[in-house]
Chains A and B, each alone.
Chain A
């Protein structure tokens, strides 16, 4: 997933970015609202994690602005303030979920998965396509009953394609999903990742699931 993390504590921000990257997410980070605003204008994020107590304008003020500009990415508010009125105000201004510090990274990841799933209008975190079974919450993949071990980036690529079966993704679109602002992939990085994923998903004799549309990009199809 392509995520934006807005948090003014450098240590917390760094740690979360590292953990989320380890899980295969592409995370952009911002230390304050101004920086986050620039990133939000430039990129399309699947979810935003927003700290409330930011230097300058508060997180809620920024959220209100973004919602005013029709930014529809789900937002998880992150804060040390646990008072009911703060939470209610957060939800009223367009937050999708709330997490009080200190929290477990695992919980943040589960909530990110839940809010993005809801944003896509899906009730189940699993997807079954033919004999392929993907659990986005558990980040596990099985084909024909056999577990397939994917790296975080490979899973993220599969997630990008398999969430929208039949839709053709250009290399640029896949890049935006897999890499954050600072990660500048090599020109053939996407092709290499698709190649590696195909090798794991379609062992000998299995029907291929990821197809190439020449000049357009890649598409996931179970048929």
Chain B
């Protein structure tokens, strides 16, 4: 698995290594150039000193260089690494340093073509050195016997090499120590920097489906992670609410199914133990319980269908006909409770899942008819895309309206049976949402107004 810590450590470690490597190399090369320049400058200075100290002995017509200056410039017999040689234009050596003895310096490359220059040179004893040459005429050369003399000054490069080697070792050692220290520091910094992330990851890993009430501690999170933590907490909250709703739903569904089952079982047992109890009334009650069970199962199936999202084949819907049919089905209750249903429909046809649409319309009508007070008016207005049902609801308060669409919710005091399962309006909501719409409920002057929209 990829690890951010390892990746970051590796990348920053490589970067630090490269910086140290190139930095060291840069310092070393700069130093080398500087030392080389300095070396060349010192060759030049020596040459100039020798030139200034050169002299022509007019009596003996001889070229010479003051020996003190020679020694001072480092060409004494004790300095075997430094050499000079003065040649005439014809190549005849007129003066040379004591370190050369009877030998001669090899001619540096470019000596013949350039009046002045620098070149690498193999010194006597096969020592690598560097030479500088220039052309000059001694100041005292009055009769021009020694015009255009050429002086070659050469020195052993060994000392420079040794200095550079020491510098390389020093830079290298500091580089290695620096690399080790920076890697340790890097490890610490990356670890410390990533620790909130690690803590968050540990916290997230501890999230248990059974203990969703736990929240991540976002107080101590750095700004970069605070948003993630808050979002996760928000998600956990929603998850907890969904789980609680699901648990409530399954527990409620089980409860609602168990009640008619318990009735049926008890009634069957009674009949089995005392056959004389098996009266037609008793059997009718059993059928009623079975009817309730069927209704409940149908409603649960409908809810599962609306929420599970299995789309039926859309059919043209005649809005007025569907609503009239729903009202007609409740006719006996409407009459017995002296309700007046006012239906106003803007005629129109549209395509929709017929089962879900009938579920919406039927449950809306059922709800209004079942809970309206006796002798009151139920107003239903509908157009292609919207149904609005308004009925008297003196017992409802704002809190109830909020819970109206919750599954299995029933106002306290309402008896539980197949008709009042508390599922009707949640079926309306789920179906409407599935049909691309939604629904809302509001309480207006003691009247409940439920509006359902869908895409037609």
A residues apposed to B, CB below 8 Å: 8-9, 11-12, 14-16, 18-19, 22, 53, 55-56, 79-83, 100-106
Contact = CB atoms under 8 A, between A and B. Distances in A.
Contacts of A55: 412-416
B263 A8 contact: no
Contacts of A79: 255
B267 interface: yes
Interface residues of B, number: 27
B207 interface: no
**Interface pairs A-B: 9 shortest CB-CB:** A80-B258, A101-B262, A102-B262, A80-B255, A102-B265, A15-B266, A101-B258, A102-B261, A12-B263
Contacts of A22: 270, 273-274, 277
A102 B255 contact: no
A81 B415 CA distance: 17
A18 B265 contact: no
B289 interface: yes
Contacts of B412: 55-56
Given A55-B413, A102-B265, 8 more contacts: A11-B267, A14-B285, A22-B277, A55-B414, A80-B262, A101-B259, A104-B269, A105-B273
Contacts of A53: 255, 416
A9 B266 CA distance: 12
A11 B269 contact: no
Contacts, number: 74
Contacts of B289: 11
Contacts of A16: 266
Contact of B265 (A8, A14, A82, A103): A103
A158 B254 CA distance: 42
A11 B258 contact: no
21 contacts: A8-B415, A9-B416, A11-B263, A11-B289, A15-B285, A18-B277, A19-B266, A19-B269, A22-B277, A55-B412, A56-B413, A80-B254, A80-B255, A80-B256, A81-B251, A100-B258, A101-B259, A101-B262, A102-B265, A105-B266, A105-B273
B288 interface: yes
Nearest to B256: A80
A100 to B, nearest CB: 8
A22 B261 CA distance: 22
Given A80-B262, A83-B251, A102-B258, A11 B285 contact: yes
Given A19-B270, A105-B266, A11 B288 contact: yes
Contacts of A103: 262, 265
B417 interface: yes
Contacts of B413: 55-56
A79 B251 CA distance: 12
A22 B259 CA distance: 23
A68 B360 CA distance: 47
A18 B278 CA distance: 12
Contacts of A12: 259, 262-263, 266
A79 B258 CA distance: 9
Contacts of A18: 270, 277
B275 to A, nearest CB: 12
A115 B258 CA distance: 24
Nearest to B269: A105
Nearest to B272: A105
Contact of B417 (A9, A15, A100, A102): A9
A15 B266 CA distance: 6
